[in-house]
Amino acid sequence: MPFKVLDEDSRTQARLGLLETAHGAVKTPVFMDVGTLGSVKALEPRDLVETRVQVVLGNTYHLMLRPGREVVAAAGGLHRFMGWDGPILTDSGGFQVFSLAKMRKITEEGCLFSSHIDGHEFFLGPKESMDMQRVIGSDIAMVFDECLPYPCDRARAEKSVEQTLRWARASKEQPHADGQQVFGIVQGGVYDDLRRHCAEELVGIGFDGYAIGGVSVGEPEECMYQAVEASVPFLPKDRPRYVMGLGVMHQMAECVARGVDMFDCVIPTRIARHGTAITRRGNVAIKAAKWAFDQGPVEEGCECYCCRNFTRSYVRHLLNAGEILGLRLLTIHNVFALNRFMEEMRAAIAGGVFSEWKEQVTKDTKNERDT
């Protein structure tokens, strides 16, 4: 099996795992850094190594449009194209069914999109998505699904789940790249029975791993945890579980306690571009005037390149002056901070102190909620 559970916490459902891929092994729980267009914004591949990135995400929808299937194929796949030899996971484009709702029309076979770039129409469904992911050569390909909005009435959710399951079956039947794993995605909104039904049907189809989708779409935090709790019990213990679109420290800790192994989010790069640093004591607005004369690092005790070499004062100056280096340094810090956080989490599970560690995380990172 490509995924092995190495250790389990005695008081929660948290677990340590090892996920073998065609481009290397991944230690779980893991945070996966988003590189939508084949680039984690502002970072080079060597930065990814230094910031301890294990997996990079690419997006099928966006890569189909730019640079396009033919260009990626000519390059020999996304690994060669972007100069990254570590694992890559690709989103299927299903999130864009949600995020670009005003620019698409759903059919039985997939989605007719109007390009967000120039408005031209193109079709993306299970066949087209899996073909593009095969050309990309990602280590993990996601099935094409419909990510539901919040709120969503039950009738719409029921119809969507059946659509997602049809697309999952069609995705499984398509050709895949050598060594490529395929993950199913559990949908169902806030309806526990629909989540269970979707999970059980996906397990019946048989996938290498399972994601919990339709979270981080504007729902209250308790609804997110409810979606996880309604899905995990019906997923195999010997397969990785992945909550999509989640990158807030205390939320990831809570989801790991509920049996989740994998996460991704644009948060570390996005908030860096707005001048905010992720720290173990909560998020910090580095652009604020109070740091103008501060000669300390962005985060005390941090070992990233930014914190080893530069001060809050200098990084603040760069950000406020519009210097690209400021965005780059803060991005390096944020990506490092989340990957270091996952290392702490894995150590806490291995050391048998995960519950105590999780409680402290909730106290320490309460400022995350305010950013």
Residue type, 11: R
**CB 112, CB 121: distance < 8 Å:** yes
Residue type, 301: G
d(CA 127, CA 132): 9
Which of 14, 17, 38 is closest to 26 using CA atoms?
17
pLDDT of 366: 74
**91 given a catalytic annotation:** yes
pLDDT tens by residue, the chain, 371 residues:
899 999 999 999 999 999 999 999 999 999 999 999 999 999 999 999 999 999 999 999 999 999 999 999 999 999 999 999 999 999 999 999 999 999 999 999 999 999 999 999 999 999 999 999 999 999 999 999 999 999 999 999 999 999 999 999 999 999 999 999 999 999 999 999 999 999 999 999 999 999 999 999 999 999 999 999 999 999 999 999 999 999 999 999 999 999 999 999 999 999 999 999 999 999 999 999 999 999 999 999 999 999 999 999 999 999 999 999 999 999 999 999 999 999 999 999 999 999 999 999 999 987 664 44
CATH of 30-265, one of 3.20.20.105, 3.40.50.10420, 3.10.129.10, 3.40.50.720: 3.20.20.105
Report residue 283: phi and psi, to 5°: -80, 145
d(CA 133, CA 172): 12
Based on DSSP, count helices (H) and strands (E) in the chain, helices before strands: 15, 16
Helix (H) or strand (E) holding 145: none
The length of the chain is: 371
Cα maximum dimension of the chain: 60
pLDDT of 371: 41
pLDDT of 370: 45
Residue 108, both tokens: 């039985």
**CB 23, CB 342: distance < 8 Å:** no
**153 given a catalytic annotation:** no
pTM: 0.97
Helix (H) or strand (E) holding 234: none
pLDDT of 368: 63
Catalytic-labelled residue, pool 9, 33, 91, 261: 91
Helix (H) or strand (E) holding 284: strand 282-285
What SS3 state is found at 7?
strand
Measure Cα distances from 53 to 30, 34, 133, 288 in Å. 9, 10, 21, 29
Domain extent listing, the chain = 30-265, 272-351
**CB 188, CB 230: distance < 8 Å:** yes
pLDDT of 344: 98
Catalytic-labelled residue, pool 9, 145, 261, 264: 264
pLDDT of 367: 65
Token pair 């998020």 is found at 283
Which of 29, 11, 31, 50 is closest to 347 using CA atoms?
29
